[in-house]
Amino acid sequence: MKDYKNYLPKYPLIWQKDDLYFKVFCSIPNVATGIILRTQNSIFIIDPGDGILRDLKRELKTPDILKISNVFISHGHHDHVGGLWSFLTYLSVMNKSTPLNLYYPEGCIEIESIFRAFNEVYGRELSYEICLFPLNKAETIVTEGVSVKPFKVNHREAVPGSKRSVEVPSIGFNFAYNKLNICYGGDTAYCDSLVQMAKDSDLAVIEAGALDEEESELHMTFKQAISVGKTAKEFFLVHVPE
Ligand SMILES: [Zn+2]
């Protein structure tokens, strides 16, 4: 890891060009990832891991939090969705009145289970509507002046008690706004789709979660992540084991 010291993330990671602002509050494997993207007209959340509400409260005034209408989720692992419940609850307690869209990979049972349980507990008294958008192909979503293109990545999880791993529904996102674009790969092993999407982007946010070559089936090694990152104009490494 010594060779890669310069690339180790120090949170928060902040990137801004014109009025496009991107901030990774944190991204720590098995703990939490939380990201915000802002333009003049929009505020998006990307991967609402544990602590997202605390971080949003520090970042924004309550009326701005209530205006958030889009949450983009790369996959259902707990370190990427663990803050969703408290965020959804807070919005209702504060009387959000506009819909909230949740975009996530089709087949992601964590999001659908959280939604079902949340609806069961709070459904009758909820102040706003939650709309689920499972994404199953590379359809581009245009919302609030930002064009969001999901792309499939290759993320797996270890099967407990065995050496096997299974693929989990997982996507990355390309956010395009005013001739700028940001590529967020989510969690993934090295894969062609990420290589393509990261190339020439203004900012690539690339995970480097593998400790060694052996783990490269689940995550990217430093070497792989840096090689992909360097094809973008700028890059952040995230999801680096502490
Ligand atoms: Zn994961």
pLDDT digits (tens, 9 = 90+) for 137-156: 768 999 999 999 999 999 99
pLDDT confidence of residue 216: 80
Ligand 1 mean position to 23 CA, how many Å? 19
pLDDT confidence of residue 1: 54
185 or 7, greater pLDDT = 185
What is the C-alpha to C-alpha distance for residues 48 and 66, in angstroms, rounded to an integer?
15
Cα torsion 107, 237, 219, 211: sign: negative
pTM of the predicted model over 0.85: yes
pLDDT tier, 5 (very low <50, low <70, confident <90, very high otherwise): confident
Ligand 1 mean position to 3 CA, how many Å? 25
Summarize pLDDT for 156-197 with one digit per residue, the tens.
998 888 888 899 999 999 999 999 999 999 999 999 999 999
- Cβ-Cβ contacts under 8 Å for 13 (sequence gap 6 or more): 23, 24, 236, 238
1 or 120, greater pLDDT = 120
Q: Which CATH class is domain 2-238?
A: alpha beta
Query: Cα-flanking dihedrals φ and ψ of residue 172, to 5°?
Result: -110, 175
Ligand 1 mean position to 108 CA, how many Å? 12
Average pLDDT, the chain: 95
